[in-house]
Structure 1
């Protein structure tokens, strides 16, 4: 004789009983309504909890972390003031994020801990490397 769990599984899958002596009883649900139609329509639309920064300026990029915005601004300022290069914010962000990923992989840190090692001196060295690469081309 089959156990209750086997019988429920057989009934759920629509199969016969694993032992031919007993047929599984199945209670079919109503097919005229979708599964969650009884909840009714939502009266109010969903609201987003955080919509990002509300106003944009020339120095900040919306939708990003304030830490990343600050680091990108510092790197771009070093490139502009010291080397006379103007780097788009997207490319500067790639450089900063790449350095964070390098720290994560080499030092086996998490991203929050790796952020502590992206100082102004490190960004100055990254700016020198970028200016050297641009100058050699």
Structure 2
């Protein structure tokens, strides 16, 4: 039995099935237009909130990962407590995300696995690195 990829290739090139036992069926009606054409030029599609998703609050931003929010809070806490620095949440988020990207590229991990390596000790070292960079400028 041929795989779906082989069957699609055979149908695209106009060839018969590799085994000759399966016939490809052509579309009987035209494909529906793309959904983007239903909206006007300047009209944006409406965003839907999921059932468990809250509206924005001061502590968290809607659509953000609770894990990432926790890591950002820990990093900002280390910077404030140990070094007296106050880093905006967006910049702290960029630092944590950059560390995850580094783990993904160097260790060839997927993102979910790389998150396990962003511990409190790692965040403490990141806070020391950030404080050292600020002090050297």
**Under TM normalisation by the shorter chain, which class is it?**
0.5 to 0.7
Per the alignment, residue 122 of structure 1 pairs with: 122
Aligned residue number for residue 83 of structure 2 = 83
Name the count of aligned residue pairs.
94
Q: Secondary structure at the match of 1:74?
A: helix
Q: 1:50 to 1:93 in 2, by over 3 A?
A: same
Which of 1 and 2 has greater Rg?
Answer: 1
Rounded to whole Å, the distance in 1 between the matches of 2:125 and 2:66 is: 22
Contact 1:75 1:127 in 2 (8 A): yes
User: Structure 1: which 5+ runs fail to align?
Assistant: 1-34, 37-45
- C-alpha contact (below 8 Å) 1:76/1:87 kept by paired residues: yes
Counterpart position of 1:56: 57
Q: Structure 1 runs of 4+ off > 4 angstroms?
A: none
CA contact (8 A) 1:74 1:123 kept: yes
Listed as ranges, the gaps of 5+ residues in structure 2 are 1-31, 34-45
Distance 1:67 1:136 in 2: 31
Alignment partners' CA distance in 2, 1:116 and 1:47? 31
Structure 1 length-normalised TM: 0.62
